[in-house]
Homo-oligomer: A and B are copies of this chain.
Amino acid sequence: MRFLFTICLLASFLFSFSQQKISGFFSGNAANQLAVEKEFDGYLNAKDQDTWLQFLSARPHHIGSAQGKLNAEYMANLFRQWGYDTEIATYNVLFPTPKFRQLELLGPNPYKAKLLETALKEDRTSSQLSEQLPTYNAYSADGDVTAELVFVNWGVPADYEVLEKMGISVKGKIVIAKYGGSWRGIKPKVAAEHGAIGCLIYSDPHEDGYFQGDVYPFGPFRPEQSVQRGSVMDMPVYPGDPTTPFVGSTADAKRLKREEITTIMKIPVLPISYEDALPLLKSLKGPVVPEAWRGSLPITYHAGPSENKVHLKLAFNWDFKPLYNVIATMKGSVFPDEWIIRGNHHDGWVNGASDPLSGMVAEMDEARAIGEMAKKGIRPKRTVVFCAWDGEEPSLLGSTEWVEDHAEELKKKAVLYLNSDGNSRGFIGFGGSHALEKYVNEVASEVKDPQTGVSVLERRYARTIANADVLGKSKLYGNRYMKIGALGAGSDYSPFFQHLGIPSGNVGFGGEGSGGEYHSIYDSYDHFIRFKDPGLQYGIALAKTAGRMMLRMANADVLPFDYSILTNTVNGYFAEIKSLIEQSRTQVEIENKLIADKVYELAADPKENLKHSAAKPSIPFIDFSTVENALAQVKKTTDLLSANLSKAEQLDAASLKKLNQLLYQAEQKLLDEKGLPRRPWYRHQIYAPGYYTGYGVKTLPGLREGIEESSWAETKERIDILSKVLLKFDGTLQEAISIFSK
């Protein structure tokens, strides 16, 4: 009886699904895929996610820690139980840890910085002091410097222009910058470029403390003695083990000597709490800084220099540490040489419950569900690979070394790399290759938001439109379509995407789990479960979302890449850049007139003795026609391809296989083998982290940074290169079209 009942249910169930169209599946196969996804959901279990989260976050688990190794083994065992071929891929990488840290304000009212986070009775793991990495910035230089202090706001290039106007130089000084406004590694890099000999980075309570909300343990935000750890390696040049750019850190890898490495910071850098920053900032003299620079400490913010000197002494153990990536593979039943790869890192700066484990446990749940279904015979057609990366925090070490080590195989086989890196209550977010946009929207329209019951796409639409201005609301009304973001740097997709050109995405939920635990001892299970995702409901939502993405890509008849969206997006970026250069030209013209008229001198308060800028060189007119022609060509081709793809059901198996291969490898054609200027490791010509923004993405990076930095010769060169890669990409898509005329 029971059996028959199930059949009947399944039939009506299949019938209702068969109405639905999902990209990449022939009409007969969509209903089956939807049934598979429905079954997948049934295996997900928040309680198990919670158990795993508690285990993995029980002790500090940074790269090189005992718990880090234990966690890798724990996960490997589970993946094996779930039916995966699992290996722990190990690499030896340079990972400095503090040997000595000292920071003091000298003079008649000396202050010795605590550089220590406090154990709280409300947070059970916060007391594991002996296993915690001290508060530091990895890949700082060793150093012992004593100098006056200067406050540099975020410490980005524009801030130094303001300081110059105020007549303040950081040459020979120690700078203090606020966290925020750029990726942290930019701050000491730019400081060193301007002649500073040391760098402090502190969390101002305005961005990361009591201004945001109640501080831990009363609320989720950063308390006064808490410090944001983090890497300051110059990752916009290349990530991964700094001794082995471009190649895996295998036993036999040829390695750079420390003094040959360009990505280790040139000056000592130390992150500090706002409690430790307060006496230092109070000691600053000189002009009051612009309003936008001021934070929420109860002081008047001055630029400096300080009346008394600051002494900063740092020494590190420059050791090689083994890292443990867990790689769990389930061969595809039909296309074993096409890989759908899922990853999240497992190392944390300390206990790392939110970052990274909340994403990791969702990934584990996905792997478990697919594994259990495979045991019952519902096996993905393509190979699925679940990865747990080690050493992401210092510099994407685990993923980069593995990708560099397996580059040739990945170029051939990798269809998609899908990343997550933590998760919390809130709204879906997705960044990645724009060819994935339609597929992402389709998935997001089918996953229910746990708090409201509408789809996660609907909820995201609600927030976007609710936050828009009136004009935006009118424009967006009814348009339940999520534009996906472009990816900069900041997590393990970088080597896949920007180095190899593998179509990639980064997925997660957030926006309602804000707090100030980031990279501190308070990123704990206790904090997470109270403030970030109580009951791990969004852990389930992430698993449903990423799981669907994995399964659709794994089982698709035609891989759901829509290159017309990518093309439109690139056209948008290009229009943006053209408008940027035109605006800059107008701006330089009017500014130069005003400078010539001495308008700024007349407008300024003479008592402030500001230095006024000299006229800037005019911005030339640039010949963009080769890019414009290439884009027009690509547009024509992607339109034609879209038209042809609707006939894919008529292709034979071999043609279909060839078509799919061309589709997933097309994005690789957007690379230039020589990479970007100053950083050949970054090869993608559409997306890169900004040289001076770090995590922040720069789209069409060669062109955009050439223009932003007024390097006109470079800009011309980048126009040629961009045009060439666009035409190379076009060639691959044309090859795909030609399959239909055979």
Q: How many copies does the complex hold?
A: 2
Chain B residues closer than 8 Å to A594, beta-carbon distance: 465-466, 473, 477
Chain B residues closer than 8 Å to A463, beta-carbon distance: 602-603
Chain B residues closer than 8 Å to A215, beta-carbon distance: 300
- Please determine whether B586 and A470 come into contact, CB atoms closer than 8 angstroms: yes
Query: What per-residue 1/0 map shows which CB atoms of A442-482 lie under 8 Å from chain B?
Result: 00000000011010001101110111001001100100000
Q: How far is B287's CA from A213's CA once the two chains are assembled, in angstroms?
A: 9
Considering only residues 197-231 of chain A, those with a C-beta below 8 Å from chain B are 205, 210-215, 219, 221
Which of B425, B454, B467, B583 meets A470, CB within 8 Å? B583
- Please determine whether B462 and A602 come into contact, CB atoms closer than 8 angstroms: yes
Chain B residues closer than 8 Å to A261, beta-carbon distance: none
Residue A297 CB within 8 A of the other chain: yes
- Please determine whether B602 and A458 come into contact, CB atoms closer than 8 angstroms: yes
Chain B residues closer than 8 Å to A159, beta-carbon distance: none
- Please determine whether A474 and B586 come into contact, CB atoms closer than 8 angstroms: yes
- Please determine whether B298 and A603 come into contact, CB atoms closer than 8 angstroms: no
- Please determine whether A587 and B470 come into contact, CB atoms closer than 8 angstroms: yes
A424 CB → nearest B CB, Å:
12
Chain B residues closer than 8 Å to A297, beta-carbon distance: 298
Q: How far is B604's CA from A512's CA once the two chains are assembled, in angstroms?
A: 9
- Please determine whether B470 and A590 come into contact, CB atoms closer than 8 angstroms: yes
- Please determine whether B462 and A607 come into contact, CB atoms closer than 8 angstroms: no
Which of B294, B300, B583, B606 meets A219, CB within 8 Å? B300
Chain B residues closer than 8 Å to A587, beta-carbon distance: 470
Chain B residues closer than 8 Å to A591, beta-carbon distance: 473
Q: How far is B591's CA from A477's CA once the two chains are assembled, in angstroms?
A: 10
A525 CB → nearest B CB, Å:
20
Residue A709 CB within 8 A of the other chain: no
Taking CB as reference atom, which chain B residue is nearest A297?
B298
Chain B residues closer than 8 Å to A300, beta-carbon distance: 210-215, 219, 221
Residue A299 CB within 8 A of the other chain: yes
A500 CB → nearest B CB, Å:
38
Which among A425, A451, A601, A605 has the highest number of chain B CB atoms within 10 Å?
A: A605
- Please determine whether B210 and A477 come into contact, CB atoms closer than 8 angstroms: no
Which of B213, B451, B458, B602 meets A454, CB within 8 Å? B602
Which among A219, A470, A598 has the highest number of chain B CB atoms within 10 Å?
A: A470
Residue A296 CB within 8 A of the other chain: yes
Chain B residues closer than 8 Å to A604, beta-carbon distance: 466
- Please determine whether A205 and B474 come into contact, CB atoms closer than 8 angstroms: no
- Please determine whether A600 and B466 come into contact, CB atoms closer than 8 angstroms: yes
Q: How far is B653's CA from A209's CA once the two chains are assembled, in angstroms?
A: 75
Chain B residues closer than 8 Å to A452, beta-carbon distance: 601-602, 606
- Please determine whether B590 and A473 come into contact, CB atoms closer than 8 angstroms: yes
Given A599-B462, A602-B459, A205–B298 Cβ distance below 8 Å?
yes
Q: How far is B597's CA from A458's CA once the two chains are assembled, in angstroms?
A: 11
Q: How far is B294's CA from A444's CA once the two chains are assembled, in angstroms?
A: 36
Chain B residues closer than 8 Å to A112, beta-carbon distance: none
Residue A288 CB within 8 A of the other chain: yes
Q: How far is B533's CA from A605's CA once the two chains are assembled, in angstroms?
A: 13
Query: What per-residue 1/0 map shows which CB atoms of A289-313 lie under 8 Å from chain B?
Result: 0000010111110000000000000
A429 CB → nearest B CB, Å:
15
Q: How far is B473's CA from A593's CA once the two chains are assembled, in angstroms?
A: 10
Which of B210, B458, B583 meets A299, CB within 8 Å? B210
Chain B residues closer than 8 Å to A593, beta-carbon distance: 477
Which of B213, B466, B600 meets A599, CB within 8 Å? B466
Chain B residues closer than 8 Å to A426, beta-carbon distance: 605
Given A452-B602, A607-B512, A211–B294 Cβ distance below 8 Å?
yes
- Please determine whether B466 and A603 come into contact, CB atoms closer than 8 angstroms: yes
Q: Give the top 6 A-B pairs by smallest Cβ distance, nearest first.
A: A462-B602, A466-B603, A462-B603, A463-B603, A298-B298, A462-B599
Known contacts A205-B298, A213-B300, A477-B593; can you find 16 more A-B pairs with CB under 8 A?
Answer: A296-B298, A426-B605, A452-B601, A459-B602, A461-B599, A462-B601, A462-B603, A463-B602, A466-B599, A466-B604, A470-B583, A470-B590, A473-B590, A473-B591, A477-B594, A512-B607
Would you list 8 pairs from A and B whose C-beta atoms are within 8 A, ordered by A residue?
A: A210-B299, A213-B288, A451-B606, A459-B603, A465-B603, A470-B586, A473-B591, A474-B590
